[in-house]
Amino acid sequence: MRLAKYIAHAGVASRRASEQLIFDGRVTVDGNIVTDPARDVDDGNEITVDGDTVAIEKTVVYAVNKPLGVISTASDPEGRTTVVDLVGTEKRLYPVGRLDANSYGLMLVTNDGDLAQKLSHPRHGVPKTYRVRVRRGSPLSRGELAHLAAGVELEDGKTGRAEVTKTGPREFEIVISEGRNRQIRRMCEAIGRDVGELQRIKFGPLELGRLKEGTARRLSAEEVESLWQNVDLPPAGKQSKPKSRGNSRSGRGKTR
């Protein structure tokens, strides 16, 4: 296994951050500083980061139903509750992407830096589904919803196409594959609407389902495999077999 991947799988940092640790000379293999992220290593090597020995621990992924007010980070200097606090484990975990404090719903946390980086990176276009309720005003028009679906001009560029379904006079569901900061709130502001409630109900193939607010559930091997398939898909027009990951089988799991 390549050194950067090993460090990421050990839960130290994401793949990209692990590469930077290596470039900075903070990693040793069998007592020698190594600056090549592609160096092959295995469990027979002694690997340290900043002098601390690291080893691959069993990777885990949790689905969390984040309540309002909970912070989408691994820790908070102000002592506020974080999404990682809701998992209740001693493992070093970090969230996959973010939901702002005024939004709630499905989040993923993991110690697999490689998977987290891929699920978060816009290049992979993992779809995420949200329920949105705008504040008082006239019912949403077809034109407004069509505008959101076609893409909205924001200060950081036009958003990509989205799937938008009206579910009430001032409510709709939207599926996006981007991850810009406060994107849905800014999209609504661009059409003159103010978001009153924003809930994520689906992340890739995983659904929030009946997971209680403020609780977490560890994903099964099949569910984790379904996430990997979202980021390991071949280019359009080509077919390839799913990557083997132990004895797990591919599947489309739901968070219950």
CATH number at residue 171: 3.30.2350.10
User: Quick one: average pLDDT of 179-198?
Assistant: 94
- Looking at the structure, do residues 99 and 148 belong to the same domain, yes or no? no
- Looking at the structure, do residues 138 and 191 belong to the same domain, yes or no? yes
- Looking at the structure, do residues 34 and 102 belong to the same domain, yes or no? no
Residue 121 lies in a domain: no
Task: Specify the pLDDT at position 249.
Answer: 36
Does residue 61 contact residue 28 with C-beta atoms inside 8 Å? no
Task: Specify the pLDDT at position 230.
Answer: 82
Does residue 179 contact residue 122 with C-beta atoms inside 8 Å? yes
Residue 243 lies in a domain: no
Quick one: pLDDT band at residue 241, thresholds 50, 70, 90? very low
- Number of structural domains in the chain: 3
Q: What's the CATH number where 77 sits?
A: 3.30.70.580
Q: What is the pLDDT of residues 139-168, one digit of tens each?
A: 999 999 999 999 999 999 999 999 999 999
Least confident span in 75-84, 122-131, 167-176, 228-237: 228-237
100 is catalytic: yes
Give the separation between CA 140 and CA 147, rounded to whole angstroms. 11
- Looking at the structure, do residues 212 and 89 belong to the same domain, yes or no? yes
- Looking at the structure, do residues 199 and 211 belong to the same domain, yes or no? no
pLDDT at residue 246 greater than cutoff 50: no
Task: Specify the pLDDT at position 238.
Answer: 37
- Looking at the structure, do residues 89 and 156 belong to the same domain, yes or no? no
Residue 90 lies in a domain: yes
Task: Specify the pLDDT at position 136.
Answer: 83
End-to-end Cα distance, the chain: 35
Residue 254 lies in a domain: no
Task: Specify the pLDDT at position 53.
Answer: 93
- Looking at the structure, do residues 24 and 140 belong to the same domain, yes or no? no
Residue 19 lies in a domain: yes
Quick one: pLDDT band at residue 88, thresholds 50, 70, 90? confident
Residue 119 lies in a domain: no
- Looking at the structure, do residues 197 and 213 belong to the same domain, yes or no? no
Q: What angle do CA 117, 201, 61 make, to 5 degrees?
A: 40
pLDDT at residue 131 greater than cutoff 50: yes
Q: Which of these is catalytic: 24, 40, 43, 100?
A: 100
Task: Specify the pLDDT at position 248.
Answer: 38
- Looking at the structure, do residues 86 and 132 belong to the same domain, yes or no? no
Q: What is the pLDDT of residues 107-116, one digit of tens each?
A: 999 988 888 8
- Looking at the structure, do residues 212 and 174 belong to the same domain, yes or no? no
1 versus 164: the higher-pLDDT residue is 164
Pairs from 242-247 (Cβ < 8 Å, separation ≥ 24)? 245/221, 246/221, 247/221
Task: Specify the pLDDT at position 50.
Answer: 94
pLDDT at residue 205 greater than cutoff 80: yes
- Looking at the structure, do residues 192 and 213 belong to the same domain, yes or no? no
Cα dist from 1 to 13, 23, 34, 45, whole Å: 16, 17, 15, 11
Residues 6+ apart with CB under 8 A from 29: 3, 39, 41, 45, 46, 47
The DSSP code for 2 is: B
Least confident span in 2-6, 45-49, 102-106, 249-253: 249-253
Does residue 76 contact residue 82 with C-beta atoms inside 8 Å? yes
Task: Specify the pLDDT at position 256.
Answer: 42
- Looking at the structure, do residues 199 and 212 belong to the same domain, yes or no? no
Residue 132 lies in a domain: yes
Tell me the residue range of the domain where 68 lies. 61-113+206-231
Task: Specify the pLDDT at position 64.
Answer: 98
pLDDT at residue 204 greater than cutoff 90: yes
Residue 184 lies in a domain: yes
Q: What's the CATH number where 35 sits?
A: 3.10.290.10
